[in-house]
């Protein structure tokens, strides 16, 4: 899952980014509203975590503009403003959740997971396509009682493919989704990663689920077990 984290106080930004990255999310951080706006226009995020009081553009107007532009990823507002009126204003601006600072990181992670569950193929803390199940917490993939461990990177790739099943995803899209902003992947990094994931899935008899669409990209093509 790709998260945009907008927080102007570096002292707060760093631990948040750290804990989210360690939890397996791909996190882009922005220190003010303008940078956040630019990032939103460049990438597709699965979740936005936004502080209210930001320089240049406030978190509130950032949230409004995001909703006005028709994007529908969940927004979590993380702020020191704690009155009921503030919460109402924040939620009405388009936020899906509201957390008052100082927030417990464990609670924050739980809320991030809760907001991330809003995909149709969600089951417990795992994603399911046909009879293939990806366990996000333990980073393993399971099919017909056979379980295979994945590396964090492979897990992130499979998660992205499973969140967008049957869609042709271009190399650019996948690279945008998987690599943090400013981290350019090497030219063959994605090819290598796809090959590694296919090898893992091969152990489950699902190696051919990831189809290469020539000249375009890749597609996760689930097949029911016979």
Partner 1 sequence: MFNRSRRNLASWFTLTMGSILIMFAAIVYYWEVIDKLEELDRLLYKKTSVMAANVKSELHNGQRQLDLEHVPLLGSMVQPLPDSQLVYASWYDEQKQLVQFFGTIPSDRLSISGGFDTIKTDSKVWLRQVTLPVYQNSLLIGYLQAAMPMTATENALAEFRMVLAISAPITLGVVALTGWWLGGLAMQPIRHNYDHLQRFTADASHELRSPLTAIISNAQYGFLSKTTDLEVQRQRFHKIFDVAKSMSTLVSNLLFLARYQGKLPTESLQVTDLNNLLVQIIDDYATQPDAQHLSLVSKLLNNSITVLGDADLLRQVVINLLNNSCKYTPAGGQVQLRLFTQSRWAVIQIIDNGIGIPEADLPYIFERFYRVDKKRSRQTGGFGLGLAIAQQIIQAHGGKISIKSVFQKGTTLEITLPLK
Q: Which residues bind partner 1 (CB under 8 A)?
A: 8-9, 11-12, 14-16, 18-19, 22, 32, 53, 55, 80-82, 101-106
- The H-assigned helical ranges of the chain are 10-22, 33-42, 59-68, 84-92, 105-116, 152-163, 171-178, 189-202
Rounded-to-integer distance, Cα 2 and Cα 112, Å: 11
What span, in angstroms and rounded, lies between the C-alpha atoms of 111 and 221? 30
Residue 69 CA, distance from chain mean position: 19
Q: How far is the CB of 73 from partner 1 (least distance, A)?
A: 23
Helix (H) or strand (E) holding 35: helix 33-42
Q: How far is the CB of 74 from partner 1 (least distance, A)?
A: 21
The candidate with the shortest Cα–Cα distance to 103, out of 3, 218, 15, 194, is: 15
Residue 82 or 208: the one with the smaller Cβ distance to partner 1 is 82
- Round to whole Å and give the CA distance between 183 and 144: 37
Q: Which is nearer to partner 1, 9 or 208 (CB)?
A: 9
Residue nearer to partner 1 on the CB measure, 15 or 207:
15
Helix (H) or strand (E) holding 176: helix 171-178
Query: Please, what is the minimum distance in Å from the beta carbon of residue 18 to partner 1?
Result: 5
Nearer to partner 1, 106 or 226 (CB): 106
The CA distance from 94 to 73, in Å, is: 10
* In the complex, minimum distance from the CB of residue 191 to partner 1, in angstroms, rounded to a whole number: 29
Tell me the C-alpha distance between 224 and 69, whole Å. Answer: 38
Compute the radius of gyration of the chain from its Cα atoms: 18
User: From the CB of 76, what's the least distance to partner 1, in Å?
Assistant: 15
Q: Residue 23 or 189: which CB sits closer to partner 1? A: 23
Helix, strand or coil, per DSSP, at residue 118: coil
- Closest approach, Cβ 12 to partner 1, in A, equals 5
Query: Looking at beta carbons only, is 18 or 207 nearer to partner 1?
Result: 18
């Amino acid at each position: 899952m790709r998260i945009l984290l907008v927080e102007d106080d570096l002292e707060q930004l760093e631990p948040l980014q750290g804990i989210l990255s360690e939890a397996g999310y791909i996190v882009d951080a922005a220190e003010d509203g303008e940078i956040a706006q630019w990032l939103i226009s460049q990438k597709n995020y699965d979740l936005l975590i936004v502080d209210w009081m930001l320089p240049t553009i406030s978190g509130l107007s950032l949230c409004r503009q995001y909703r006005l532009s028709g994007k529908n990823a969940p927004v979590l507002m993380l702020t020191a403003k704690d009155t009921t009126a503030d919460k109402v204003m924040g939620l009405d601006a388009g936020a899906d959740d509201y957390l008052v600072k100082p927030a417990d990181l464990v609670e924050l992670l739980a809320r991030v997971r809760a907001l991330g569950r809003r995909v149709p193929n969600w089951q417990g803390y795992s994603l399911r396509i046909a009879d293939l199940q990806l366990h996000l917490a333990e980073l393993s993939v399971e099919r017909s009682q056979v379980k295979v461990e994945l590396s964090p990177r492979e897990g992130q790739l499979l998660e992205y493919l499973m969140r967008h099943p049957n869609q042709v995803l271009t190399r650019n899209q996948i690279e945008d989704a998987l690599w943090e902003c400013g981290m350019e992947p090497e030219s063959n990094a994605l090819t290598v990663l796809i090959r590694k994931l296919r090898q893992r899935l091969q152990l489950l008899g699902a190696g051919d689920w990831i189809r290469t669409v020539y000249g375009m990209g890749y597609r996760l093509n689930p097949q029911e077990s016979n």
